[in-house]
């Protein structure tokens, strides 16, 4: 499992004598308030600057693997430049969605949690009420971003893969997709294959057979979506099932690949919430800011479909040719988790067990 941890701290070095420092403090106190101060990185654990309503807070972000760089390189620095984010510092932990959810349930500190699938969020509601059961009542249903499952292939698409059906029928296809018992990305991929077959007229048994055929073609099932992308980039397999945002990133970075949006595919909705132990108001401010136009535009710049439909550019994020369906079509993640991904009795677990793939979370 990939679980890189990035920590960025902000502190202030004040070049004043002790006497002047005291004088300034007295003046500020007498005026009943304080102004914003500039800040920069220093070594060690200096005091955090204050200035905005969230000033000085330290937020621990725990998330699924793929948006790691978006948080560290774009979202967090941009938020720190706002009045609400002035003086806020972040520590980040990213990895396979299921693993991250279980870690927080077991006691890993977290202020903001961002997972791939809603069932990983619900675990934190059910186990100790780490997240409020009302998280779905937040704006946009509590989702930070949207995406779709796409098929990433070698440049020129030498196998001519255009749909999930092609993956079943093409004898040369060697598929990379993560393990669905650690990765939320893998669960989206599997439900995209299953749902596409249903949309094409298959019954439930036939749709499961389609899933089995694709899983039989897997050259590797890494632990997370990001690890699956790394495996593909390093030469494993010739087809990758992945998030659209990962495919867009690969193209922008000059990888020798291209991606296909299947005629039918699933809309990926990634849940986000603050925890009950999160420092206030910093965590809520950060969450609200990510739902603002500014925050959503940063997500869009990094290949994620904004949850605000007014900000979705149809040229950049085209609709599938035949149809886009949601997990709600199958009863939502609560039902899907039990029916498909229960580690012992789920239909996908039984397929993986037949193939000799681990189903232990």
155-211 residue pLDDT tens: 999 999 999 999 999 999 999 999 999 999 999 999 999 999 999 999 999 999 999
Tell me what pLDDT residue 39 has.
30
The CATH number fitting domain 5-145+270-311, selected from 3.40.50.300, 1.10.287.70, 3.40.50.2300, 3.40.190.10: 3.40.190.10
Tell me what pLDDT residue 120 has.
97
C-alpha to C-alpha distance for 345 and 340, rounded to whole angstroms: 8
Of 166, 172, 179, 337, the residue nearest 264 (C-alpha): 166
- Which regions in the chain score pLDDT beneath 50? 1-52
- Which helix (H) or strand (E) element contains residue 189? helix 184-199
pTM of the model: 0.83
Domain extents in the chain: 5-145+270-311, 146-268+319-355
Tell me what pLDDT residue 53 has.
55
The DSSP call for residue 241 is E
Q: Taking a C-beta distance cutoff of 8 angstroms, is the pair 177, 221 a contact?
A: yes
146-268+319-355 domain in CATH 3.40.190.10? yes
Would the CATH topology of 5-145+270-311 be identical to that of 146-268+319-355?
A: yes
pLDDT tens-digit series, residues 323-334: 999 999 999 999
C-alpha to C-alpha distance for 22 and 24, rounded to whole angstroms: 6
Tell me what pLDDT residue 128 has.
86
């Amino acid at each position: 499992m990939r679980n890189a941890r990035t920590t960025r701290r902000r502190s202030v070095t004040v070049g004043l004598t002790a006497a002047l420092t005291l004088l300034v403090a007295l003046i500020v106190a007498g005026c009943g308030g304080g102004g914003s101060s500039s800040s920069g990185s220093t070594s060690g654990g200096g005091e955090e600057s204050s200035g905005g309503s969230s000033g000085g807070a330290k937020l621990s972000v725990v998330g699924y693997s793929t948006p790691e760089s978006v948080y560290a390189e774009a979202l967090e620095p941009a938020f720190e430049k706002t009045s609400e984010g002035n003086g806020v510092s972040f520590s980040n932990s990213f990895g396979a969605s299921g693993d991250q959810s279980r870690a927080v349930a077991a006691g890993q500190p977290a202020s903001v949690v961002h997972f791939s699938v809603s069932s990983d969020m619900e675990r934190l509601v059910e186990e100790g009420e780490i997240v409020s059961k009302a998280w779905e009542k937040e704006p946009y249903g509590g989702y930070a971003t949207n995406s779709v499952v796409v098929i990433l292939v070698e440049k020129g698409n030498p196998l001519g893969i255009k749909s999930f059906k092609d993956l079943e029928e093409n004898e040369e296809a060697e598929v990379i997709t993560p393990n669905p018992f650690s990765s939320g990305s893998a669960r989206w991929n599997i439900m995209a294959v299953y749902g596409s077959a249903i949309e094409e007229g298959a019954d439930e048994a036939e749709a499961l057979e389609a899933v089995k055929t694709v899983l039989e073609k897997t050259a590797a099932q890494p632990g997370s979506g990001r690890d699956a992308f790394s495996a593909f980039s390093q030469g494993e397999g010739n087809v990758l099932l992945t998030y659209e945002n990962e495919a867009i990133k690969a193209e922008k970075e000059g990888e020798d690949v291209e991606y296909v949006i299947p005629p039918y595919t699933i809309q990926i909705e990634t849940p986000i919430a603050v925890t009950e132990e999160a420092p206030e108001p910093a965590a809520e401010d950060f969450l609200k800011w990510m739902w603002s136009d500014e925050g959503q535009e940063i997500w869009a710049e990094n290949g994620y479909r904004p949850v605000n439909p007014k900000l979705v550019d149809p040229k950049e994020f085209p609709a599938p040719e035949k149809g886009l369906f949601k997990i709600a079509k199958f009863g939502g993640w609560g039902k899907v988790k039990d029916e498909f991904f229960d580690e012992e009795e789920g239909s996908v677990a039984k397929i993986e067990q037949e193939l000799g793939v681990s189903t232990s979370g």
